[in-house]
Amino acid sequence: MILTAILAIILAAAIAPTLNRVLPALSHWFLALVPLSAALWFATQVPGVTAGTPVLETTSWAPSLGVALSFRLDGLSLLFALLICGIGAFIVIYSGGYLRGHPREGRFHLFILAFMAAMLGLVTADDLISLFVFWELTSITSFMLIGFNHEDARSRRSAIQALLVTGGGGMALLAGLVLMGSGSGEWTLSAIAASGADLRTHALYPAMLILLLLAAFTKSAQVPFHFWLPNAMDAPTPVSAYLHSATMVKAGVYLLARLNPTLGGTEAWFWALTIAGGVTALWGSAMALRSTDLKKILAYTTLMALGVLVLLIGIGSDGALKAFAGFLLAHSLYKGALFMGAGSVDHGSGTREVGELGGLWGKMPATGLFIAVAALSMAGLPPLLGFVAKELIYDDIFRNGHYLALAALLLANAAMVAAAATIFLKPFLGAPTKAAAHAHEGGAALLAGPGILASLSLLFGLWVGLPQGLLGAAADAVRGAPLGLELHLWHGFTPALGLSALTVALGLGIYTGQPAVKNALAKIQLATRIDHDRAWDCLLALLDRLARRVTGWLQDGMLHRYLAWIFTGILVLLGATLAVRGGLVWPGISLEIEDALGGSLALLILGGTVGAIRARSRMEAILSLAITGMSVALFFLLFGAPDVGITQLMVETLSAIILVLIMAKLPMLPPGSDRTRAAKLFHAILALGLGGVVSAIMLAVLDQPLALDLSHFFGDTSLLEAHGRNIVNVILVDFRGFDTLGEITVVASAGLGVFALLRARMGKRGRS
| 352: three-class secondary structure by DSSP | coil
Backbone phi, psi, residue 213, to 5°: -65, -40
Does position 763 bind other proteins by CB under 8 A? no
Q: What is the 3-state secondary structure (H, E, C) of 692-733?
A: HHHHHHHHHHHHCCCCCHHHHHHHHHHHHHHCCCCHHHHHHH
Half-sphere exposure of 254 (CA within 13 A, CB side): 28
Near other proteins by CB under 8 A: residue from 529, 723, 764, 767: 723
DSSP 61-99: EEGGGTEEEEEEE-HHHHHHHHHHHHHHHHHHHHHHHHT
Say what the alpha-carbon torsion angle 519, 522, 527, 533 is, to the nearest 10 degrees.
Answer: 180
Q: How far apart are CA 61 and CA 125, in angstroms?
A: 13
Does position 56 bind other proteins by CB under 8 A? no
Does position 564 bind other proteins by CB under 8 A? no
Does position 646 bind other proteins by CB under 8 A? yes
Does position 768 bind other proteins by CB under 8 A? no
3-state helix, strand, coil in the chain (%, to 5): 80, 5, 20
Nearest residue (CB) to other proteins, 323 versus 730: 730
For residue 125, the cross-strand partners are 71
63, with CB counted inside 10 A (0-12, 13-18, 19+), is exposed
Nearest approach in angstroms of CB 642 to other proteins is 4
Nearest residue (CB) to other proteins, 385 versus 730: 730
Q: How large is the C-alpha radius of gyration of the chain?
A: 34
Residue 657 C-alpha from the chain's centroid: 47
Does position 560 bind other proteins by CB under 8 A? no
Nearest approach in angstroms of CB 597 to other proteins is 19
Does position 734 bind other proteins by CB under 8 A? yes
Cβ(338)–Cβ(305) below 8 Å = no
The conformational region for residue 241 under phi > 0 = left, psi -120 to 50 = alpha, else beta, is: alpha
Does position 748 bind other proteins by CB under 8 A? yes
Q: How far apart are CA 647 and CA 337, in angstroms?
A: 69
22, with CB counted inside 10 A (0-12, 13-18, 19+), is exposed
> Which is nearest to 117 in space by CA: 6, 243, 246, 8?
6
Q: How far apart are CA 681 and CA 691, in angstroms?
A: 15
Q: How far apart are CA 158 and CA 296, in angstroms?
A: 14
733, with CB counted inside 10 A (0-12, 13-18, 19+), is middle
Nearest approach in angstroms of CB 747 to other proteins is 5
Nearest approach in angstroms of CB 634 to other proteins is 15
Cβ(269)–Cβ(285) below 8 Å = no
Does position 729 bind other proteins by CB under 8 A? yes
Nearest residue (CB) to other proteins, 646 versus 684: 646
Does position 616 bind other proteins by CB under 8 A? no
Cβ(147)–Cβ(159) below 8 Å = yes
Indicate the residue type of 366: A
Nearest approach in angstroms of CB 63 to other proteins is 11
Does position 655 bind other proteins by CB under 8 A? no
Does position 576 bind other proteins by CB under 8 A? no
Stretch that binds other proteins, among 304-312, 403-411, 468-476, 741-749 (CB under 8 A): 741-749
Does position 59 bind other proteins by CB under 8 A? no
Does position 643 bind other proteins by CB under 8 A? yes
Does position 654 bind other proteins by CB under 8 A? yes
Does position 619 bind other proteins by CB under 8 A? no
Which residues between 660 and 689 bind other proteins (CB under 8 A)?
661-662, 664-665
Nearest residue (CB) to other proteins, 596 versus 720: 720
Does position 762 bind other proteins by CB under 8 A? yes
Does position 695 bind other proteins by CB under 8 A? no
For residue 60, the cross-strand partners are 68
Nearest residue (CB) to other proteins, 152 versus 743: 743
432, with CB counted inside 10 A (0-12, 13-18, 19+), is middle
Stretch that binds other proteins, among 38-46, 197-205, 441-449, 723-731 (CB under 8 A): 723-731
Helices assigned H by DSSP within 147-249: 153-184, 189-195, 205-219, 228-231, 237-241
Near other proteins by CB under 8 A: residue from 43, 462, 686, 732: 732
Does position 194 bind other proteins by CB under 8 A? no
Cβ(232)–Cβ(116) below 8 Å = no
Does position 650 bind other proteins by CB under 8 A? yes
H or E, element range at 57: strand 55-62
> Which is nearest to 380 in space by CA: 366, 390, 367?
390
Stretch that binds other proteins, among 6-14, 71-79, 460-468, 654-662 (CB under 8 A): 654-662
Near other proteins by CB under 8 A: residue from 581, 725, 764, 767: 725
Q: How far apart are CA 316 and CA 300, in angstroms?
A: 25
Q: How far apart are CA 471 and CA 477, in angstroms?
A: 10
Stretch that binds other proteins, among 92-100, 528-536, 585-593, 752-760 (CB under 8 A): 752-760
200, with CB counted inside 10 A (0-12, 13-18, 19+), is middle
Near other proteins by CB under 8 A: residue from 117, 761, 763, 767: 761
Nearest residue (CB) to other proteins, 622 versus 733: 733
Near other proteins by CB under 8 A: residue from 407, 657, 684, 702: 657
Stretch that binds other proteins, among 337-345, 394-402, 559-567, 658-666 (CB under 8 A): 658-666
Number of residues that bind other proteins (CB under 8 A): 42
Nearest approach in angstroms of CB 129 to other proteins is 21
Does position 190 bind other proteins by CB under 8 A? no
Does position 750 bind other proteins by CB under 8 A? yes
Near other proteins by CB under 8 A: residue from 541, 572, 585, 658: 658
Nearest approach in angstroms of CB 741 to other proteins is 6
Nearest approach in angstroms of CB 723 to other proteins is 6
Stretch that binds other proteins, among 387-395, 410-418, 603-611, 735-743 (CB under 8 A): 735-743
Does position 741 bind other proteins by CB under 8 A? yes
662: Cβ contacts below 8 Å, ≥ 6 apart: none
Stretch that binds other proteins, among 101-109, 556-564, 638-646, 693-701 (CB under 8 A): 638-646
Near other proteins by CB under 8 A: residue from 53, 182, 600, 726: 726
For residue 71, the cross-strand partners are 57, 125
Does position 623 bind other proteins by CB under 8 A? no
Nearest approach in angstroms of CB 559 to other proteins is 16
Binding site for other proteins (CB under 8 A): 642-643, 646-647, 650-651, 653-654, 657-658, 661-662, 664-665, 722-726, 728-730, 732-734, 737-738, 740-741, 744-745, 747-748, 750-752, 754-755, 758-759, 761-762
